[in-house]
Amino acid sequence: MVICGMKRHEAVTCLKEITITCTNMSPDAVALFDSRPDDPDSTGYQVHIKAVLDNETKQRLQNIAEKHSLALREENGKVVIYQPKEVTKTA
């Protein structure tokens, strides 16, 4: 069984696109984290954004996530962009 997750270079690419696209957001609001082992939704790296976001910025973040086949969720006052867990069987 193989569990796929966002690799560091993929997360950095996403971070760069966020800073270019969402110029009204402070760079201090964005951080890169490894997912928790008990996270039921993702594995690998995650982009965490802790800021008050307007609807336009949320839509831009959603577009970036979709462009990179990532998911976006809001939790505990932050937005998390992550690679959903995919489990594939190997022979």
Residue 36 is predicted with a pLDDT of 72
Domain that residue 57 falls in: 2-88
Percent of the chain with pLDDT over 90: 35
- Measure the CA–CA gap between 14 and 85, rounded to whole angstroms: 18
Task: Count how many domains the chain has.
Answer: 1
Mean pLDDT, rounded, of the chain? 83
Residue 86 is predicted with a pLDDT of 66
Which residues partner with 88 through β-bridges? Answer: 2
pTM score of the predicted model: 0.82
Q: Which two tokens stand for residue 31?
A: 């951080």
| Positions of the chain with pLDDT under 70 | 1-4, 38, 40, 86-91
Token pair 């831009």 is at which residue?
60
